[in-house]
Amino acid sequence: MFIRNDDKITTTQTSIFITDTVLGAGILTLPRGVIEAAKTPDVWLSVLLGGFIVIMVTMVMVKLSQQFPNHTVYQYSKRIVGTIPGGILGVCLIGYYIIIAGFEVRIFAEITMYYLLEGTPIWAIIIPFIWVGTYICFGGINAIARVFQIIFPISIFILVLSYFLSIRLFDIDNLRPVLGEGVLPVFKGLKSTVLIFTGCEVIMTLVAHMQHPERAVRATFAGIGIPFVLYLMTVIVVVGGMSVDSVMNSTWPTIDLLRSFEITGLIFERFEFPFLVIWMMQLFCNFTSFYFNASLGISQVFRLKIHPVIFGLIPVIFITTMLPERINDVFKLGDTIGKMGIFLFFLVPVLLTVILLFRKKVLNHHV
């Protein structure tokens, strides 16, 4: 099943698609997650190192996907390792996307209930969210990319403005001493850092949808580079503004930082509300991307029409969203997704590339 010519996206849309898929709940939880692992102010070095590792692995994904024009990972994995192993690999990816889609909806619901709609039943927040995502997925990847293009500049503007205004709380001593306990804590923080970049695997389906797949490297570099810079800024601003101990004791450290100051005379004196509204739109982008990729995967692996699949996933995602009972269970699910992400993130592209190169070498040798 080839990709329809009328459902292609431009190079810029591809970059924004990757950014909006990667940039999500991590902004709210990253500082605490990395500090719990590293326990030193050197967490920004963990983000720096983790970002470079992620960029290198995504380049492998792009180069692999470019070998098979108009084919997504669900299709070309079968050609590389065979129908059954490729199908199993596809099912693992689909399961991963469904779980992470449910996780994003749950994080959205938890934040909404905690800060904005206290006392509202959780299902009343989740169901409309999933329905709107379903509606946009129906339009195909082009419709999703256009929605992302509208949300992207607003999100970036509000986020950068929020950080700029919180500079008054910044104290460089909160980030010192640099490497006071050596490099080991930096490596301990790497797992949490790679976790927040989960989502860049979508490039293995996006290259097939690009109008100019030869520009995929440039698109991916920009698409990963923007969240990389923003996550680095988040850690530096939040840890610098709050200190290591305060971040460790906070559930949503980024929001707590924005709640700790007021700007008199501006339209918004308290900046956590515009930040939250924008971030809900960003979480919606995350969810839609994973929802669409799961639907596309089921459609291509099992050779089904995509629209019934999108409908069929609604109850599955709802159940996945409702499974964790408490907020701590949600965070545990996030850690599990991170581990699954690291496994699929490194194993799938690297393993497929090695097998492909080996097969090409053997075939050329026989010729």
Give the separation between CA 80 and CA 103, rounded to whole angstroms. Answer: 31
Q: Which of 81-85, 226-230, 286-290 has the lowest mean pLDDT?
A: 81-85
In the numeric block, which tokens belong to residue 323? 């499974």
Of 28, 230, 21, the C-alpha closest to 110 is 28
Topology of 11-350 in CATH?
A: Amino acid/polyamine transporter I (1.20.1740)
Residue-averaged pLDDT of the chain: 83
Helix (H) or strand (E) holding 332: helix 327-366
Give the separation between CA 127 and CA 134, rounded to whole angstroms. Answer: 11
Q: Give how far the C-alpha of residue 78 lies from the chain's centroid of Cα atoms, to the nearest Å.
A: 25
Mean pLDDT, range 55-67, rounded to an integer? 87
Domain boundaries, the chain: 11-350
pLDDT at 366 over 70: no
Task: Give pLDDT, residue 364.
Answer: 63
pLDDT at 139 over 60: yes
Tens digit of pLDDT for each residue in 225-244? 998 998 888 888 888 888 77
What single letter denotes the amino acid at residue 128? P
pLDDT at 91 over 70: yes
Is the CB of residue 297 less than 8 Å from the CB of residue 90? yes
Mean pLDDT, range 148-154, rounded to an integer? 90
Residue corresponding to tokens 């470079």: 52
How much is the pTM?
0.87
Provide DSSP, 61-75: HHHHHHTSTT--HHH
pLDDT at 269 over 60: no
